[in-house]
Amino acid sequence: MLNAGSSSLKFAVVDPQTGAQPLSGIGESLGNNKPSVSWRYRDARGERALEAGAAHGAVLGFLVGELITNMAARDLQLVAVGHRVVHGGEYFSHSVLIDTSTVEAIEACSALAPLHNPAGLLGIRAATEAFPQLPQVAVFDTAFHQTLPDYAYLYALPHHLYSEHGIRRYGMHGTSYRFVCERAAKLIGRPLEEVNIIAAHLGNGASVAAIKGGISVDTSMGMTPMEGLVMGTRCGDVDPGILIHLAESLHYAPAEINRLLNRESGLLGISELSNDCRALVEAALDGHRGAELALALFCYRLAKYIAAYAVPLRRIDALVFTGGIGENSVYVRAKVLEWLGGFGYLLDEENNRRIRAGAEGRITRADSSLALVIPTNEEWIIARDALQLIESRE
């Protein structure tokens, strides 16, 4: 599994049957002065500096040349490479085997995800060279949400902006949602087709989705990953009139507006302290007013979205928390459920404190609506999709 960012490349060898990752690692600061790669193979760990300017290809060269050939060749049998690709536009509602037309379609979606899709293509090109004998599969963050009805995915803008330019809501984190809703159905003990779930993926980027019988019917991210919830450094929903005011009255250039909304807002912007939820919780408990306020905005916005998704779902069988914050933050989960008291959510404080660091389970009382914590595993979904696609080809 490869997950390429513009200056990073995460890799993992994933067993599609169990989700286990015998080998994993990340190349960072790629293309910069001091790129490096760190890795874990079973119980061993290591880190290696790469040559200045080394990029994605160098990380894969190291992966193939040193890690796989020297250490793991007899142990691991590679059958395919699965790539995480952020934006599949309206081209992809499922994962696909990569060929020339797939690459062209991913390129065509780059206008919608200028930071993410070109990075995904770097990963695909480097992997095609490093593993010429292996089939390559693309798994899209947006694909799961292609089932949204038009009244949920359209903006109330002139319709030609959609029909001519693809301006609509696409949503992200689909791979994570697929994993957690399958797992939630198992924990509830009913077929996925019969359960209605609201899932919140809360990491540096954060979103929430309404999933009816395994099908996404609404989600908070939009054409880009900026819409919706308060995030680490992204603002989420704002009045679009603010952008006009920034440009016309305060003379911000488009690039400055982009930086403001993407990198300087969210938890960081409000707290004036950090974008990191854990650091903010510690500061808030020490009485830092900015940290308290940032967390208050985060939790209130999330609770409002969850309540709104009662509209498409009518009956909510489970509320699921996942992602770094969802899986770990006792504070955020407690605050969100407090807001949702009117919907029958009653926190089980002891379970909430106990469930963190990779654990899964229920955080509401027996006499309450059901809220679960489920650690996500996007890599497993990518590996499973890759295996399924190559098997169906054979």
Which residue ranges make up the site for ligand ADP (CB under 6 A)?
203-205, 232, 276-278, 281, 323-325, 328-329
Query: Which residue number, 220 or 328, has a Cβ lying nearer to ligand ADP?
Result: 328
Query: Which residue number, 173 or 212, has a Cβ lying nearer to ligand ADP?
Result: 173
Please report how close the Cβ of residue 167 comes to ligand ADP at its closest, in angstroms: 25
Q: Which two tokens stand for residue 194?
A: 């019969």
Cα–Cα–Cα angle for 32, 10, 298, nearest 5°? 95
Alpha carbons 313 and 342: distance in angstroms, whole number: 17
Please report how close the Cβ of residue 198 comes to ligand ADP at its closest, in angstroms: 18
Please report how close the Cβ of residue 58 comes to ligand ADP at its closest, in angstroms: 23
Alpha carbons 369 and 379: distance in angstroms, whole number: 30
Which DSSP string do the residues of 86-108 spell out, in sequence order? S--TTT-SS-EE--HHHHHHHHH
Query: Which residue number, 231 or 318, has a Cβ lying nearer to ligand ADP?
Result: 231
Pairing of strands 318-322, 371-373: parallel
User: Residue with CB nearest ligand ADP?
Assistant: 324
Query: Which residue number, 102 or 329, has a Cβ lying nearer to ligand ADP?
Result: 329
Please report how close the Cβ of residue 190 comes to ligand ADP at its closest, in angstroms: 28
Query: Which residue number, 78 or 285, has a Cβ lying nearer to ligand ADP?
Result: 285
Q: Say how many C-beta atoms besides its own lie within 10 A of residue 174's C-beta.
A: 28
Helix (H, G, I), strand (E, B) or coil at 319: strand
Question: Strands of 96-97's sheet, edge to edge?
Answer: 44-49, 36-41, 23-28, 9-13, 2-4, 81-85, 136-140, 96-97
Please report how close the Cβ of residue 180 comes to ligand ADP at its closest, in angstroms: 13
| Helix, strand, coil percentages for the chain (3-state, nearest 5) | 45, 20, 40
Alpha carbons 84 and 37: distance in angstroms, whole number: 19
Please report how close the Cβ of residue 277 comes to ligand ADP at its closest, in angstroms: 4
Query: Which residue number, 203 or 312, has a Cβ lying nearer to ligand ADP?
Result: 203
Please report how close the Cβ of residue 276 comes to ligand ADP at its closest, in angstroms: 4
Helix (H, G, I), strand (E, B) or coil at 291: helix
Q: Name the residue with tokens 């900015």.
A: 290
CA atoms within 13 A on the CB side of 324: 11
Alpha carbons 86 and 101: distance in angstroms, whole number: 17
**DSSP-assigned beta bridge partners for residue 45:** 40
Alpha carbons 371 and 380: distance in angstroms, whole number: 23
Query: Which residue number, 42 or 353, has a Cβ lying nearer to ligand ADP?
Result: 353
Active site residue 141: yes
Q: Which of 43, 75, 141, 276 is catalytic?
A: 141
H or E element in which residue 209 lies: strand 206-212
Q: Which residues are known catalytic residues?
A: 141
